[in-house]
Structure formats: C-alpha cells, structure tokens
Amino acid sequence: MRLSYPKAPSFYEASAAPPPPARETLRGDLHADVAVVGGGIAGCSAALHLAQRGYRVVLLEARCIGYGASGRSGGQSIFGLAASQHTLIEQVGRAAAQRLFDLSVEALDLVQSLISDFNIDCDYAPNHLHVAVKPRHVDELRAWADELHDEYGYGSARFVSGAELPAHIQSPRYLAGLIDTRSGHLHPLKFTRGLARAAENAGVVIFENSQVLRYEDGAEVRVHTAQGTVRCANLVLCCNAYIGTLAPTLARRILGVGTYIIATEPLEERARELLPSNAAVADINWILDYFRRSEDDRLLFGGRVSYSSVQPRQLGESMRKRMLRVFPQLEGMKVSFAWGGYLDITMSRAPDFGRLAPNVYYLQGFSGHGIALTGLAGKLVAESVAGTNERFDVFARIPHRDFPGGPLFRRPSLMLAMLYYRLRDLL
C-alpha cells in the first residue's frame, strides 16, 4: 500500500515563519560525495554533519523540508528509545543496551547544542513527564525511576507521587509520574527548517520537489529523480514510512502508522494552570496520549493510531473527546487545528539503522521516538561514512524482522495486533 502525504494544515505551519521560497528541483546530472534522501531531521542532520566533515553533499526531498513526521510531530525530545531497555537487552545484550541508552541521552544534548550552535529559534523548553493511567503503571514508573538511577546512572529523572503531580499537571486522569528535566519539547517544524538552513550554510545543496525514484548501487551510486541524476560515492536513505519501492527490503521491516494531533485556541493563563511546570507529557499506554503547551499557550494534544492510509473522519472531534478525558476543564474550548503524520514502526520498536551495500546507508524505524534520536542518527551516519563505524554499528547490530503477511496481509494482521494492544491498555 502506498502512503499518501497527510494534507491537513498543522499549527506548526501556521506558527512558523513563512518558509523560504521553494528550492530548485533537481534537473540534469550532478556529482557529489554523498546524496542524502529525505528532508526530515534525520536527513538534514546527516547532511549537516557530513558537510561539516568536508563532504560535498546533495539532499533530495520529495516535497519540502519538514513535510514528513519531523514537521508534524508532538515535538517531545525524550531519553531512551521506543523499545524498552528490556527488549534491547534481549536483542543485543546488557552492555550494548547500556550503550544505546547512553547514546539516547547524548541525542538529547545534541538537540540543545544544535539549537544553540546554529541559533535555531524553535521554542525549546525543558521537562518531560511520563504519567500513570492505572494502578499497575504506578509500580512500573517507580521501578523505572529506580532502574534509570541504579542501572543506567541516569540522574535527571525521578518518580513523582500522586500528591506531587499537581505541580506538573492538573488532571484527574493520572495517578503518578516520572519527571525528567533533561528531556524537553520544541516546535519541530522550526527545528527542522533551522537544521536545513544550517546544512545549507555548511555547503549542502538541497533540492525540493525531487522525489528519488530509484538508485543503482556500485562503487559509484547513481540516484535518479524524474528529471535528474546524482552520481555519488555514498548514499544515505532517510525516508521514514515513505520508503516504499525505493528499497523494498527496508519497506518490509517497517509499518507506516498514522498518529494525530489537535491544537486548541490559545488558552492563556488556563494553559499555564493545566501544565504548571511546562513539561511535555506522555502516558505509558501502548496507544498513548501525548501533549504539551505551545509557545502561545495552546494545548497541543496528540494520540490515536491508525493503520489505514486515510486520515480519519471527524478527526478534530474524536481527538477533542480524548483531550476532555484528560482535561475535562477544557469543555467548550475550540479546536483550531487537526493534523496527522506517519510513524515508521518496526516489529520490536527498536530503530533500524544499517547499510544495504557498503556505501548505501539507511536510518529508519524511529517508531514514534525520533525527535532527538534522528539528530544523533545523522551524526552517527556521518561518522560512519568518514570511516569510524563503532557508534553507528551499535545501532546497526540490532536485529530486525519483516512484518508478517506480505504486502497484502500485513495491515490486517497489524490491525489485529492493535486490537490486542487496545485491550491490553484497558486492563
């Protein structure tokens, strides 16, 4: 199934400065050291870090910079990976799982240093809160806080009891939390566009409206769009759920899942009352709610998942109902924007980085946890192209499986899986 690009205009498009005039479409033949496909955070970060190392880089984007998940996301920059540490230990062992965790923390710090090094005005604010919806979640969060501290040496996250919770969130729905001051949130479209600008200033040439249709590998890789070709020594694919026929091996290992966000009208003082510490919040259900305050004091409320490639009908209204479960005090408030985007989830929800050939790299499978990790992924791929593979290979060694069922049956089987997770969330 081919994913369409979700069309509804987002709050982010409305609140970012107007984009620069569309960049040129690739026409004719070009030479480069590296071609990067995809103008999300992963692609822009890879291009920037490669250019900083002196490579001649061309970035090809099918639509415009930030058009995919990076410009639509919840904007929560969170430690860890989408897969639990327990899953990672089973997959790669204790020592490598620790390395993966440490790299996820480095990813948080990289977000902040990119913002300050390149003066990216993207409304970054610290604090992130995971919240417990059910009594069993309270024990899970308490155990998680201990594990982070005792086993991973992570000192900035701590358990928040129900009694302390109102200092962070005014909601009757939650029983306890885990606050982390090193995680935070940002305006993802401003951040992505800022990275693209930094990459261009470092010498990257970006083409928009330049979908890569196919490539031929070999010592010289040839990358083809409808009107042009890039010949390069290395190729980096950062296409998220849109990878499709460009690399069927990769497409089989991810599933494009829709997730959705609404933005309320500006709530002014009320928004500050709802979330007094300005933490971004996510519950710990599998099909989770995630939300935060915007810079202009709206509530940006995300949730739902869909395995269909069509945007759900009455999206704003169904999301508003979910929001009222959390904040019944917002009854009567208007929803100004509703939009969605696609996540690239893997079977285990661990990220999927690697090489399809010695000089053809890919970064995918962020599984809804990519705001921070995509930036680091771009840096690691640049290290690997330059010959230092060690950190990239910590990720590349994570094993991945195809989704079962082949092209025809994988969505139906995933819908069944989703039903299972919905039921599990109810327990």
75 contacts ligand FAD (rule: CB under 6 A)? yes
Burial of 331 from C-beta contacts in 10 A (0-12 / 13-18 / 19+)? exposed
Assess contact for 35 and 236: CB atoms under 8 A. Answer: yes
Task: Give residue for tokens 């979910």.
Answer: 322
Segment near ligand FAD (CB under 6 A); pick from 23-31, 70-78, 86-94, 400-408: 70-78
Segment near ligand FAD (CB under 6 A); pick from 66-74, 309-317, 318-326, 409-417: 66-74
Segment near ligand FAD (CB under 6 A); pick from 130-138, 194-202, 334-342, 390-398: 334-342
Nearest Cα to 342, choosing from 196, 244, 224, 211?
A: 244
Q: Which of 128, 349, 369, 400 binds ligand FAD (CB under 6 A)?
A: 369
Tell me the site size for ligand FAD, rule CB under 6 A: 42
Rounded to the nearest angstrom, the gap between the alpha carbon of residue 57 and the centroid of all alpha carbons in its chain is: 23
In the bound state with ligand FAD, the residue whose beta carbon lies nearer, of 142 and 252, is 252
Q: Which of 127, 211, 306, 384 binds ligand FAD (CB under 6 A)?
A: 211
Q: Which of 40, 184, 256, 354 binds ligand FAD (CB under 6 A)?
A: 40
Coil/strand/helix, residue 95: helix
Coil/strand/helix, residue 224: strand
Please report the beta strands in 265-346, taking only residues with DSSP state E, as ranges in sequence order.
280-283, 290-293, 299-306, 335-345
395 contacts ligand FAD (rule: CB under 6 A)? no
Angle 388-348-400 (CA atoms, 0-180°, nearest 5)? 50
- What would the two tokens of residue 237 be? 């694919």
Task: Please give the Cα distance from 308 to 253 (Å, whole number).
Answer: 17
230 contacts ligand FAD (rule: CB under 6 A)? no
**Which residues 18-37 are close enough to bind ligand FAD by CB under 6 A?**
37
290 contacts ligand FAD (rule: CB under 6 A)? yes
In the bound state with ligand FAD, the residue whose beta carbon lies nearer, of 2 and 269, is 2
The residues that touch ligand FAD, with contacts defined as CB under 6 A, are 37-43, 60-63, 67-70, 72-76, 78, 211-212, 238-240, 242, 246, 259, 261, 290, 302, 340-343, 366, 368-371, 374
